[in-house]
Amino acid sequence: MDLAEKRIVLTGGAGFLGTAVCRVLRARGVPGDQVIVPRRESCDLTDESAVACLYDTARPDVVIHLAAEVGGIGANRAAPGRFFYANMAMGLHLVEHARRAGIEKFVHTGTVCAYPRDCAVPFHEDDLWNGYPEVTNAPYGIAKKALFVMLDAYRRQYGLRSAVVVPVNLYGPGDNFDPTTSHVIPSLIRKCEEARLTGMPEMVCWGSGSATREFLHVDDAAEAIVRAAERIEDPIPINLGGGEEIAIRDLVAKVVDGCGYRGRIVWDPSKPDGQPRRGLDISRARSLLEWHPIRDFDRGLAETIHWWRERGV
Phi, psi for 132 (deg, rounded to 5): -85, 140
How many C-beta atoms lie closer than 10 Å to residue 92's C-beta?
18
Q: Considering all CA atoms of the chain, what is the largest pairwise distance in Å, rounded to the nearest integer? A: 61
Catalytic residue among 140, 154, 171, 261: 140
Residue 55 annotated among the catalytic residues of the structure: no
Q: Is the dihedral of CA 204, 206, 208, 210 positive or negative?
A: negative
**Residue 17 to residue 114: CA distance in whole angstroms:** 19
**Residue 86 to residue 89: CA distance in whole angstroms:** 5
**Residue 139 to residue 254: CA distance in whole angstroms:** 31
Nearest Cα neighbor of 22 from 32, 163, 201 is 32
CA atoms within 13 A on the CB side of 209: 13
H/E stretch holding 10: strand 8-11
Nearest Cα neighbor of 30 from 60, 53, 72 is 60
**Residue 190 to residue 176: CA distance in whole angstroms:** 10
Residue 160, sorted as left (phi over 0), alpha (psi -120 to 50) or beta, turns out to be beta
**Residue 86 to residue 189: CA distance in whole angstroms:** 28
134 touches 76 (CB < 8 A): no
**Residue 200 to residue 195: CA distance in whole angstroms:** 5
Residues serving a catalytic function are: 140
